[in-house]
Structure 1
Amino acid sequence: MKKLIIIILAATAMFSCKKDNIVAVTKADPGAPAVTTPAANTAIIITETNGAEKLSVRWKKADYGVSTVLNYTLQAAIAGSNFSQRITLGNTSADSASVTYTDINNGLLNTLNAPANETSAIQIRIAASISGKDTVYSEPVTLSVTTFKITAPDRLYVPGAYQEWKPENAVFIRQAEGFTYEGYVYMKIGDYYKFTSAPDWVHINYGDSGTPGKLTEDGNASGLKVDQPGYYKFNVNTQELTYSAARIESFGLIGTATAGAWDNSTPMTYNESEGVWTVTANLTAGALKFRANNGWDINYGPADINALTGTLIQTNDAINITEAGSYTVTLDFSQETDKQYRYTVVKN
């Protein structure tokens, strides 16, 4: 009897071991998933306001010949790249995924280097796998995607009470770099003004946020204000929504070529009708620069030290005056034709 029990237990143990070692065998050639939605050539136009909208992607599941949990990855690439560079837009074990327009836009612009604010042909596909192995891919589906990126205009207009609030006739300040702007504006009265991204009231206009030095894009906000008439240097950052306004009481000549050397500026006069600063002064051989308000916070030198006519930049260099004599010096900060400040030094 004891022998019979032992034989039965041994047989049971052998059967249990065999059962534990049963392994599911997948197909040698698994059936790939197939995208069913969206349809080929679907057009997606991404804008500033629709980033929360979603692209819904559905597919027929892959067939590995066994019943198991599959992993699906939604991939995208520029059409024609054969997915050599791709982005992942989602991972799931289901047969569908949704991705926001913002995520699509960011992936195309930042990883795939798609052109901003232009239409590109992209392809999406589904990668199926079991625990990251035996991956099979769906046939790619081509979509048309127009990306969106906020771009800074090359100038800001400065309409205000000083010119009867007409942006189409307003003076503008030029883009310095990215979303930063700099320029000079003469305001014949101390009053309210705004910055606009175009010469109209249809596009963005920047007003007073209620916090000093900060702007708002709320078009119904009140204007900014200068308390005195005069010539102002504006610096604006439309991304950070900041600005500054520095009143220029005078520009002057400074340097060893001037009577005040490096200590005192020779003042210039603003010509309102021509929009330039000018002075006629006796100069000696030596260095010549320009500064505002008899101080060094705002000062300029030449791009070329040997040029008597040229571009003003912020530099430690000075114009090299080689001959003593009477000179008429003119500074033009209008930036009418480009974003350069200009000077002329003419011997009389």
Structure 2
Amino acid sequence: MQRYTLILTLLLASLLGACKRDIDNVQATPTADLNFTASANTLTLASAGPADTVLRLRWNPLQFGLSDGSGIAVLPVTYTLELAAAGNQFLNVTTIDAGVNTNRRGFTAGELNTLFTSGLGLAVGGPNAYEVRLRATYASNQSVVRSAVQSLAVTTYASQFYVYGNTLGALSATSPKLGEVAGSPSQYEGYVYLPAATNTIRFSNGTTYGGGGAAGSLVSPGADISLAGPRMYRLQVNLTARTYVATATTWGIIGAATTNSGAGWNQSVPMTYNTTTKLWTVTMPLPGNNGTAGGNADFKFRANNDWAINLGSNTSSALPLLYGGGNLTTPGPGTYTVSLDLNTPNNYTYSIR
């Protein structure tokens, strides 16, 4: 009996080995070309909004014929973009995921700008000559398939504007910065606290900018811009118009939550700027209760006891805060410390504890 078991085991092993060799020897060969195309080859990113799609790469999804003649294989194909400087022969490649079983990949102006300036570390400007191709892989034991090359000439823009000066210190990577205004290329905004009675500032995005001959004008390299302090300024820069606006701000909280009545919308309750935490704060009773008709737990933040600059939220107190956003709400009646954080452009936040 043991003799027959041994013979059967050897026979099965032989058959399985033959099957494995047959599978390994079957090759999958593409039945069509990738036909890799680009919607544009010359891209000036500042001419579009950061969220606008400026580049669309398309290709034919691969199908494979099996070398054993059994037909067309349905294989999961992973696509990867390979990006390299023109003339580099793809020796130094940056790879970008293009999905599985896909046939396109789009890029927004903001996405490409971040890729070229932050990811690749290129200086702002251009045009930067690059090449892109598509790599398709369908099995670890098979050769990759690559497309023809598409050429790209990409001109980038500065997504952040640094502020420096006599009381802020020399220009560095840690200098205060302004962020690009969403949907408005070449416009920047943010808040900077100037600690001394007399302060001078300049701006830089790789190019130095200062004040021009006319009030509020911006030229390169320009002159030092003098601003009185100690104050927090909202700084706005428009590189297209070559202008800047510096608005001194003090912040407060306003709304029915401060009085549990509509009278709370008549006057802001001042907040105090803490130079250590770099937050605007106020600790106060907030008696407002949304159980009262009219939404008496509602409030907002505003600057200079005026509605010209105010922050709220359009989605249930969600962050970040938005200029002119809807009302925020307190958790209910109580004494709270409310803090406003204006340190990160495009990501202004608050807390209530």
TMscore range, shorter length: 0.5 to 0.7
What SS does the corresponding residue of 1:158 show, helix, strand or coil?
A: strand
Structure 2: distance between partners of 1:314 and 1:265: 17
2:335 maps to which of 303, 306, 326: 326
Q: What code does the residue aligned with 2:347 have?
A: Q
Q: CA deviation at 1:228?
A: 3.1
- The superposition leaves residues 130-169 of structure 1 with CA deviations (integer Å, 9 ceiling, x where unpaired) of xxxxxxxxxxxxx9966252x3222111000112334344
Quick one: which of 270, 279, 283 aligns to 1:280? 283
Instruction: State the partner residue of 1:225.
Output: 226
Instruction: Give 1:345 deviation, angstroms.
Output: 1.4
Identity of aligned residues (%): 30
> What's the C-alpha RMSD, in Å, of the aligned pairs?
3.3
Map residues 1-348 of structure 1 onto 2, 5 A cutoff: 117-119=128-130, 147-149=153-155, 151-177=156-182, 178-189=185-196, 190-197=198-205, 203-216=206-219, 218-219=220-221, 221-248=222-249, 250-259=250-259, 261-283=264-286, 284-285=288-289, 286=296, 287-306=298-317, 310-321=319-330, 323-335=332-344, 339-346=346-353
* Alpha-carbon distance, 1:243 to partner: 0.9
CA offsets per residue over residues 58-103 of structure 1, 9 Å max, x none?
A: xxxxxxxxxxxxxxxxxxxxxx9xxxxxxxxxxxxxxxxxxxxxxx
Distance 1:303 1:118, change over 3 A: farther
Q: Report the alpha carbon displacement of residue 314 of structure 1 after superposing the two structures with TM.
A: 1.9
The aligned counterpart of 1:99 is none
Q: Secondary structure at the match of 1:210?
A: coil
Residues 297 and 279 of structure 1: CA distance in aligned 2, closer, same or farther (over 3 Å): same
CA pair 173-316 structure 1, distance change in 2 beyond 3 A:
closer
Shift of 1:316: 4.8
Q: CA deviation at 1:262?
A: 0.8
Secondary structure at the counterpart of residue 295 of structure 1: coil
Gap regions ≥5 residues in structure 1: 1-45, 49-79, 81-114, 122-142, 198-202
Q: Residues 323 and 146 from structure 1, CA distance in 2 versus in 1: closer, same or farther, beyond 3 angstroms?
A: closer
What SS does the corresponding residue of 1:164 show, helix, strand or coil?
coil
Distance 2:335 2:186 in 1: 42
Q: Which stretches in structure 2 are left out of the alignment for 5+ residues?
A: 1-41, 45-58, 60-115, 117-126, 133-148, 290-295
Between structure 1 and structure 2, the one with the greater Rg is: 1
8 Å CA contact 1:252–1:294 kept in 2: the answer is yes
Paired residue for 2:24?
Answer: none
CA apart distance, 1:322: 5.0
Q: Which amino acid aligns with 1:191?
A: N
Q: TM-score, normalised by structure 2?
A: 0.52
Shift in CA distance, 245/306, structure 1 to aligned 2, threshold 3 Å: closer
Would you say how many aligned residue pairs link Structure 1 and Structure 2? 207
Which secondary structure state, in structure 1, belongs to the residue aligned with residue 167 of structure 2? helix
Q: Is the 8 A contact 1:303 1:311 kept in 2?
A: no
* TM-aligned CA deviation for residue 306 of structure 1: 4.8
CA distance in 1, matches of 2:280, 2:326: 21
Letter in 1 for 2:234: K
